[in-house]
C-alpha cells in the first residue's frame, strides 16, 4: 500500500480565535474546580458528543473549557452560552481525561442566579423552588412550571399537561403537592435551618 504523503495545511482562517477580556475572573464554587478544566487537552470529544452543540452553532464545550483555563468568564457571550447546556453530561462520558464541562457550566449558572444575572425566567423559577423547599420541603411542585412554559417542549407535551391537576385529583393527590402525606414539621424545621445555614435568606410568607 502506497504511503499517503499529503500534507495538511493549517491556516489562521481555520482556527477560531476567542477574544479574551482584560479582567480575569475566578469561581470559588467547588463544582467549577471539579470540572477538570486544568487537565483538558482540547481534543473536542465533548463537543462532538454534545446535543447542545448540535442545536446551537455557537455552543462548544471545548471552547468553554478553554475559557475556564484562561479565566475568561466576564464576557456577555459566555453569560448567554451557559444557558444552552442541557446537563446531559455526554461531555463527561466521552472525555478521555474525565473532565466535566457541564459541571463547570452548572457552577456558572448557580452564580448567575445568586447574583441576579440569570434570565428572568430562570430567576422566577429559582424563587419558586426556594419557596417550595422552605414551605413544603420539596423543590418541584406541580405549580412550579407554569403551563405556558411547557409550550417550549412542543405542542403534544403541552396538550398532555393541560389537565394535570385534574389527573392528580383523580389519583387522590392534592392539587399542588407531590405526596399524599406532608413532611413532618420537625423535619421542616431542620430543612429551614439548613437553608439559613447555607446562605438562603428567609422566605416571606
pLDDT digits (tens, 9 = 90+) for 72-130: 888 888 999 999 999 999 999 999 999 999 999 999 999 999 888 899 888 988 888 99
Instruction: Check residue 170 and give its pLDDT.
Output: 85
- pLDDT for 201 equals 63
Q: Which residues contact 142 (CB under 8 A, 6 or more apart)?
A: 164, 165, 168, 175, 176, 177, 178
- Cα–Cα dist 102/35, whole Å: 7
Quick one: which of 101, 120, 118, 96 has its CA closest to 109?
A: 118
The pLDDT score that the predictor gives to residue 176 is 81
Listed in order, the ranges of the chain carrying CATH 1.10.1060.10 are: 27-114
pTM, full prediction? 0.73
CATH superfamily assigned to domain 27-114: Alpha-helical ferredoxin (1.10.1060.10)
What is residue 182's predicted lDDT score, i.e. its pLDDT? 83
Ranges of residues in the chain with a pLDDT under 70 are 1-26, 201-205
Residue 65 · residue 37 · CB < 8 Å:
yes
Amino acid at each position: 500500500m502506497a504511503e499517503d504523503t499529503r500534507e495538511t495545511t493549517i491556516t489562521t482562517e481555520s482556527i477560531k480565535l476567542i477574544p479574551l477580556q482584560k479582567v480575569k475572573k475566578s469561581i470559588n464554587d467547588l463544582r467549577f474546580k471539579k470540572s477538570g478544566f486544568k487537565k483538558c487537552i482540547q481534543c473536542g470529544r465533548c463537543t462532538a458528543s454534545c446535543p447542545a452543540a448540535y442545536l446551537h452553532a455557537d455552543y462548544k464545550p471545548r471552547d468553554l473549557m478553554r475559557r475556564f483555563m484562561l479565566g475568561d468568564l466576564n464576557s456577555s457571550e459566555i453569560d448567554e452560552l451557559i444557558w444552552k447546556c442541557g446537563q446531559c453530561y455526554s461531555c463527561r462520558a466521552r472525555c478521555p481525561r474525565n473532565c466535566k464541562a457541564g459541571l463547570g457550566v452548572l457552577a456558572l449558572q448557580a452564580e448567575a442566579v445568586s447574583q441576579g444575572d440569570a434570565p428572568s425566567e430562570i430567576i422566577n423559577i429559582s424563587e419558586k423552588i426556594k419557596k417550595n423547599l422552605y414551605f413544603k420541603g420539596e423543590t418541584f411542585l406541580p405549580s412550579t412550571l407554569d403551563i405556558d412554559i411547557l409550550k417550549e417542549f412542543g405542542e403534544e407535551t403541552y396538550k398532555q399537561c393541560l389537565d394535570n391537576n385534574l389527573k392528580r385529583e383523580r389519583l387522590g393527590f392534592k392539587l399542588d403537592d407531590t405526596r399524599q402525606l406532608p413532611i413532618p414539621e420537625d423535619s421542616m424545621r431542620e430543612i429551614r435551618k439548613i437553608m439559613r445555614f447555607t446562605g438562603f435568606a428567609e422566605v416571606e410568607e
